[in-house]
Structure 1
Amino acid sequence: MRFAGWYLKIAAVGASIGAAMELFMIHTGFYEKVTVLESEKRAWESSPEAQAMREALNPWRKHDEQEQQK
């Protein structure tokens, strides 16, 4: 426990840096922007265009399904 003071100082500095980063993200509207982007991403991923693209990019999908059934 010789270096306990040193570890406490490092922990306090790290916590203050983390708190400052969180405050910055809250004040700049980061979380609102991320929420909008995530909802747009999920809406696009469930669209028929995205499903068709996913199927087109994996030509072995049906082959793998047939192998699993055997």
Structure 2
Amino acid sequence: MSLTAKGDTLQVTGRLQTRTYKDKKEVTHKVTELQVDKWYLVGVSQTQGDYPVKEKTIIKDSDNLDKLSL
């Protein structure tokens, strides 16, 4: 089970870490990695694979719960 899908929008907090290393042939490589402390799912893509995502109803005011159609 995946928590996210391709196209989802994430908010990430953390830091960038840059390091160098040498491979077996003594070639030096430089990599930059994102060290994630926390991440949040901000938005869901409109499609998942070949199927459109069902529209979600968001209730912002608890007084309007009776207007929710199930």
TM over 0.5: no
TM-score scaled by structure 2? 0.18
Q: Which has the larger radius of gyration?
A: 1
Greater share of strand: 2
Greater share of helix: 1
TM-score scaled by structure 1? 0.18
